[in-house]
A and B are shown apart, each in its own frame.
Chain A
Amino acid sequence: GAVVSQHPSWVICKSGTSVKIECRSLDFQATTMFWYRQFPKQSLMLMATSNEGSKATYEQGVEKDKFLINHASLTLSTLTVTSAHPEDSSFYICSARDLRGGRFLGTGELFFGEGSRLTVL
């Protein structure tokens, strides 16, 4: 099956620094990727939809200046947590839409990355 890779899988940084997380679709092109955030023992909360070649669409309550998303190519989306603070510590998961698969409402299959655990000290 299709593979989505996230990097880094975990990162520790100091408060005030910026951290970039990459999400790559390894064997398919993904015009759309999604970024989720998961606090311990909680569900995945959709942060934004990343669209190749255009601006990301953010969910209500998500600060777009805080969480910068860039989807510059068909295989790469990046999430940058700017001026990170301890409350930004979380598990960030991306997913990418593979349009080749038509099972799911004809909208393509969704594949998840392994997740990136961010700890801000």
Chain B
Amino acid sequence: AQKITQTQPGMFVQEKEAVTLDCTYDTSDPSYGLFWYKQPSSGEMIFLIYQGSYDQQNATEGRYSLNFQKARKSANLVISASQLGDSAMYFCAMREGLTGGFKTIFGAGTRLFVKA
């Protein structure tokens, strides 16, 4: 069964506008972490933001924020004030703390295109 679901294969956003990338997850482990990574065309994985399952507040890191809705099992990434350099693949990922052996599982990814 899919543990991480990203339903948007591709997204377009105008430069300087905000964009939301969707991510839903499935786990029965009460202890888990959710991550977003950016992968530019060069291939390296760049960590963006983390949300723990016990965190009360939504995570924020600069222009990145994570809209964590635990009951709905969603962890959407919001990028504010998009820049041309934000064009890349974005992966949502999950690490299950108790049952997953601390492995990180990735979603299918969303390709973001920022238009000038």
Contact present for B108 and A117 (CB under 8 Å): no
Of the residues B32, B103, B109, contact of A46 by C-beta under 8 Å:
B103
Chain B's nearest CB lies how many Å from the CB of A76?
Answer: 19
Given contacts A104-B52, A105-B33, A107-B97, contact A34 B43 (CB under 8 A): no
Of the residues B45, B97, B102, B107, contact of A97 by C-beta under 8 Å:
B102
A57 part of interface (Cβ distance < 8 Å):
yes
Cα A27 to Cα B35 in complex, Å, equals: 23
Of the residues A43, A57, A97, contact of B108 by C-beta under 8 Å:
A43
Cα A34 to Cα B43 in complex, Å, equals: 16
Which size bracket describes the interface of A in this complex? 20 to 34
Q: Mark A108-121, 1 if CB is under 8 A from B, else 0.
A: 10101111010000
User: Inter-chain contact count A-B, CB under 8 Å?
Assistant: 59
For A91, A95, A112, A113, the residue with the greatest tally of chain B CB atoms inside 10 Å of its CB is: A112
Which residues, 64 to 116 on B, are CB-close (under 8 Å) to A?
Answer: 91, 95, 97, 101-109
A21 part of interface (Cβ distance < 8 Å):
no
Residue of A nearest to B111 (CB): A41
Contact present for A57 and B101 (CB under 8 Å): yes
Chain B's nearest CB lies how many Å from the CB of A15?
Answer: 24
Of the residues B43, B104, B108, contact of A110 by C-beta under 8 Å:
B104
Cα A52 to Cα B95 in complex, Å, equals: 20
Which residues, 89 to 106 on A, are CB-close (under 8 Å) to B?
Answer: 91, 93, 95, 97, 103-105
Q: Which residues of B does A touch, CB under 8 Å? A: 31-33, 35, 37, 42-45, 47, 50, 52, 91, 95, 97, 101-109
Q: Which residues of A does B touch, CB under 8 Å? A: 32, 34, 36, 42-46, 49, 57, 91, 93, 95, 97, 103-105, 107-108, 110, 112-115, 117
